[in-house]
Structure 1
Amino acid sequence: MGESANSIGKSLNYVGFIENNDYYSKMIFPLLNKSIHEKAQFKSPQEKANFYHSAKVTLLPIQCEESFGFTLVESMAAGTPVIAYAKGAIPEIIKDGETGFIVNASKDDIRGNWITKAYGLEGLCEAIEILYNMPQIKYLEMRKNCVKHVNDNFTASRMTDQYEALYAELISQN
């Protein structure tokens, strides 16, 4: 995270729940510098929505096999594109080039032929540069795509409808 901010000369706001103070002290805190600003936990859902909405992009360089990315959906619901590694459900949530960018995590873990051809930190930086160099009209279209994608696929009513359809299908098979 810090390396990508320093590499491209942009500043980042770091937000995260601290589950392990020792890990945070040793691994995260040393990365915080003039390029990375720490933000405390959000006090309300509106504060979180405003934070995402005011961002140019949400960078989510997680290495775990994310089962479902609420952070991605929250960011896109606020109209903010996401850049993340192609881990777990990320390729099912982000539409590469339309709602953000997907990056292969390493040369040994290629999971798709994404717009960003580099991988790892270099890939994150490439995706950030692509986004920052986009014509304003295309960037604004990407922000609209984010909101539409969430409304079309990740609302509570949509998910309820899908569960009901699945249950009906399972019942009809018995």
Structure 2
Amino acid sequence: IQDQTNFLEKIEPHLNDDIRFIGHAGPEKRNELLSKAYALLHPINFNEPFGMSVAESMLCGTPVIAFNKGSMQELIRNEETGFLVNNIDEAVEAVDLIKNIQRRNCHDWSKSMFSQEKMIEDYLKAYNQII
């Protein structure tokens, strides 16, 4: 959550002390937070072309719960690296099921698909096909 005012007004009144607003976190702090998180809840309700935070979360070994929209089917292996859900009720159910996801699978999948090395490999393949 990046909008502290929205968080304080609309979300915080419904939470307990286990959840708090942290604000902007740089790459090191973000990775530390993600690696300790139970899951990343990614409730984006539009067709996002690529979810960088989803890939980053899984690289840290953290499973993701996201709406089944946009690129999420390409990023998340449903029931292996997280859950693709269609509504809030399914997201709530997925929170209970997230314990069944192996964190190592999240890391390995994300690294095999979205690491810097994988991107370089894919670019070289594309360049070689052009030449």
Report SS of the residue matched to 1:39.
coil
Residue in 2 that maps onto 1:158? 118
| One-letter amino acid of the structure 1 residue matched with residue 93 of structure 2 | E
Residue in 1 that maps onto 2:21? 38
Aligned equivalents of 1:167, 1:98: Cα separation in 2? 32
Runs of 5+ consecutive residues of structure 1 not aligned to the other structure: 1-14, 19-23, 105-119
The Cα shift of 1:49 comes to: 0.6
Residue in 2 that maps onto 1:100? 82
- 1:129-144 alignment to 2 at 5 Å? 129-132=96-99, 134=100, 139=101, 142-144=102-104
Aligned equivalents of 2:63, 2:123: Cα separation in 1? 27
Q: How many residues align?
A: 127
Question: What is the TM-score when the length of structure 2 is the normalising length?
Answer: 0.87
The Cα shift of 1:144 comes to: 0.2
Residue in 2 that maps onto 1:147? 107
Residue in 2 that maps onto 1:8? none
| One-letter amino acid of the structure 2 residue matched with residue 84 of structure 1 | A
Identity of aligned residues (%): 30
Aligned equivalents of 2:90, 2:11: Cα separation in 1? 19
The Cα shift of 1:94 comes to: 0.4
Aligned equivalents of 1:166, 1:40: Cα separation in 2? 39
Report SS of the residue matched to 2:20.
strand
Aligned equivalents of 1:30, 1:54: Cα separation in 2? 25
The Cα shift of 1:168 comes to: 2.4
Aligned equivalents of 1:79, 1:67: Cα separation in 2? 22
Runs of 5+ consecutive residues of structure 2 not aligned to the other structure: none
- Which 4+ runs in 1 deviate beyond 4 A? none
| One-letter amino acid of the structure 2 residue matched with residue 160 of structure 1 | I
| One-letter amino acid of the structure 2 residue matched with residue 49 of structure 1 | N
| One-letter amino acid of the structure 2 residue matched with residue 30 of structure 1 | K
Question: What is the TM-score when the length of structure 1 is the normalising length?
Answer: 0.67
